[in-house]
Structure 1
Amino acid sequence: MSDEDISLDEKRVYADKTKTATAFVAAGAGLARVSISDDIVGEFSLEHRSTVTDVATADGRLAIATPEDVLIGDGEAFVETGFGPATAVDYHDGLVAAGGGTVARYDGGWEPLGDLDDVRAIDGDMVAAASGIHRLDGTHVGLDAATDVTTAVGPLAATESGLYYLANGWMSALDGAFSVVAGAGETAHAATAETLYERDGGEWSPVELPVGGAVAGVAYAEATYAVTEDGTFLANAGDGWRHRSLGLPDVAAIAVL
């Protein structure tokens, strides 16, 4: 069901009885703030008007990567950090960013951790880059053409040739050109341009979504959230997927504050 079909009064009553979350969506037009009540996608607004390539949150902190700099803030006001053009950000023992061939950590200033080109994503102590999966210091730990990585559920890596999990080396989970992987608790998701997959009990199966479009990111809080590259936001609190169009194309990432 699309949330455009739900009355404003119903949304207000429903929101009073359920937990709420705030998601941030990185897109070509900027950073969107999206309010979600359980699985109802509510109000949204554009909080930063310039291309955002990645977004990360942790303990009430928010950081965004842009073609100009890494910005930190509260979702409404942002300050520059002096990193320069960035492609990926994450929080792991502080704010970590990548861009311009460098991976660095921020603590009032930027401390270089390693040299690495064409970084696509950072999660925990792992980096997904065109050359494969690396540690933050640039050490290569396997695979090629990595597009995304998560360490939250035991390392999972999305690559242009398949989805992999780390056991005794990198083991194949699914074949295909994967661009997204995410996980939390016992749940994990991964996506190709055509299909979103969910891992349940160790087995991966395709997810039937109510809309088309390639999934650009998945995040978790009180529910499971996903966003498509063409700007449709989806939420599933256990009773199926609800969705709403944000009207923002070129979506790159999602994070929940």
Structure 2
Amino acid sequence: MKTDDDAPLHLRLAGIIRLGLGGGRGPTDAYVFDPHRLALPSWAMALGDSGPAALLVTLDRHLDVVVPRRPEAVPDRSAGLRALDEHARWELDVRNYDHILAAMEAGLVGDALFIARTRPRGAFAGDTYVDTKGRSHRLVVVPTVDRASEAWSHPAPGDAVRDVLEDAERVLLDVDLDCFTSLSDADPTTVLPWPRAIIREFLLPEGCEPFWDAVLQRAVALTLAREPHHCGGLLASGELFRDAADVLFRELLRVEPP
């Protein structure tokens, strides 16, 4: 990756915290940030300038597949970390829903497996995205880890979870903290963070180990977006991060939480 000096790359990325995850299973690095669009430079740092594009496995409340305003303007990964970081901060939408297709345009992400429950207005509706360079990217969508696990272990006609995982050399595991929230039925503007037991039930349903083994043995990095404005505010999101990190790190990745 190109930088202006010899400082460690993660120290050049304001607002992105890099964590070492040695000793567990799965990725050895994690990147934590608030706005989800900062996943773009984090993925660039995790993957480097070369090698095959990665399969993205992302867990989110929203399906972040809105096409960037100017997809042809997304820098290629060969342009370097600074170009991708600046593009994420200044060109991608502040609503944080176009970074995944931007990563496909950049050549960082190939196919994507989405574990997401809602589709924002304007989201790309197809199951294949063809980028401006003519490359095709499969978009596989399931609503829960339980459904992804079932599609891995016992695929039904039309299920593609096993196909994209088996074709992947590298995986980027991505989590938006608002995956573990719901909107209040009484007041749709109120966000309800899930308790730890519900997070555990969602992330680690019965029979999920074969699916998670397939993901984690290929995973090169975890990215975690805190998105406090989608998680009930700073204090509520801090408590949710603590509970989610306990399940995600200690129980899924088998490392101590950050």
Q: Which category describes the TM-score, using the shorter chain as reference length?
A: 0.3 to 0.5
Task: Name the one with the larger strand percent.
Answer: 1
Q: Which has the higher contact order (CA 8 A, sep 6+)?
A: 2
Task: Name the one with the larger helix percent.
Answer: 2
| TM-score, length of structure 2 as denominator length | 0.33
| TM-score, length of structure 1 as denominator length | 0.33
